[in-house]
A and B are shown apart, each in its own frame.
Chain A
Amino acid sequence: MTETVVFAVCAVGAVASGAAVFAVDSMARATFALLASFLFTGTAVLLLGLSYLGVLVVLMMVMEMMVMAVFMVMYMMNPAGLMPMSMVHNRNGALAVSAGVFLLLAAGVVLVPWPEAGGAPPADPAFALGEAVMGRHMLVMMLVGMVLFATMVAATVLATSRGRYDRYGDDLRREHPDDPIGGGLGR
């Protein structure tokens, strides 16, 4: 009973604060509305008995929203709602599409005969997850690691303002790269 009440509060809170992200007139407020939505969803995941993944989601979202707040300040068009401005295009079309998608998904949720649970959940789901990613599902873990590494490299390359033509000249024939700070291997 308590679980149902907590879930209802979390579900309503998650959807309401998710909708608030696109309703408030300040990007800083939108960031914190999104954080609230993620915290509500993290609580819902905790209710499912996934203590490790639920805490992981909550911690990751808190850090992610802090980073996002920094970027919000950088790219903010409407600081703290001082100059309200509309930043939407095709609002009615987007509303129609998303309402249609929700009705479609909800129809699927209600109409599909979902299978019954075959047995009780393990005593320690986090242990089962660890065994899975270190055993039968190790490919997932390896791919995730590679993707995260590639993301680090690609994000750094994209975000830096200096490319190889800045360092080695237009014909890439400069003997030593022209860096603001010298150093590195072989120099």
Chain B
Amino acid sequence: MMLEAYLLLAAALFSVGLFGALSQQSVVMVMMGLELMVNAVIVTAAALWLYTSPQSPDGQVLVLVAVTAMAVEMAMGFAVTTALFRARDVDMVDMAADLADRGGPGDHGGHGGGGER
């Protein structure tokens, strides 16, 4: 019964994080949503370890990998935010939508990278 409770907690955290990652415009807030989603993976792996296979440490190794993924996500996310801000003065995801298919706000946000140093 406790396993289901932990997995429901993880599902709720994942959904909240997904909502944030989908709806926020600031790059930093999108990263917060992603962190909540990775956090859900940590809870899931830890709960599955204890309640289904406590004798083999595979679940714990998965928690370790998720913690690393979170650190990498944070470091690379802030590095990309900084690079984007330096190149184009942009800190909103809508203004960095150059690769998007259809015309949108992204077509007006950028004024060419690399011009100003």
Residue numbers of A with Cβ under 8 A of B are 4, 7, 11, 14-15, 18-19, 21-22, 27, 30-31, 34, 37-38, 41, 44-45, 48-50, 53, 56-57, 60, 64, 67-68, 71-72, 75, 77, 87-91, 93-95, 97-99, 101-102, 105-106, 109-110, 114-122, 125, 128-129, 131-133, 137, 140, 144, 147-148, 151-152, 154-156, 158-159, 161-162, 166
Interface class of chain B by DSSP: helix
Q: How far is the CA of A132 from the CA of B61 in the complex (A)?
A: 8
Residue numbers of B with Cβ under 8 A of A are 2-20, 22-29, 32-33, 35-36, 39, 42-43, 46-47, 49-55, 57-58, 60-61, 63-65, 67-68, 70-72, 74-76, 78-83, 85-86, 91-92, 94, 117
Find out whether the CB atom of A50 lies under 8 angstroms from the CB atom of B46. yes
* Nearest-neighbor residue (CB-CB) of B1 within chain A: A4
Q: Which residues of B contact A87 (CB under 8 A)?
A: 24-26, 29, 92
Q: Which residues of A contact B9 (CB under 8 A)?
A: 11, 14-15, 44
Interface class of chain A by DSSP: helix
Q: How far is the CB of A159 from chain B (nearest CB, A)?
A: 5
Q: Which residues of A contact B33 (CB under 8 A)?
A: 21-22
Q: How far is the CB of A130 from chain B (nearest CB, A)?
A: 9
Find out whether the CB atom of B25 lies under 8 angstroms from the CB atom of A129. no
Query: Known interface pairs A98-B18, A105-B11. Does A30 touch B51 (Cβ–Cβ under 8 Å)?
Result: no
Find out whether the CB atom of A129 lies under 8 angstroms from the CB atom of B61. yes
Find out whether the CB atom of A75 lies under 8 angstroms from the CB atom of B43. no
* Nearest-neighbor residue (CB-CB) of B4 within chain A: A109
Q: Which residues of B contact A90 (CB under 8 A)?
A: 22-23
Q: Which residues of A contact B43 (CB under 8 A)?
A: 41, 44-45
Q: Which residues of B contact A27 (CB under 8 A)?
A: 26, 28-29
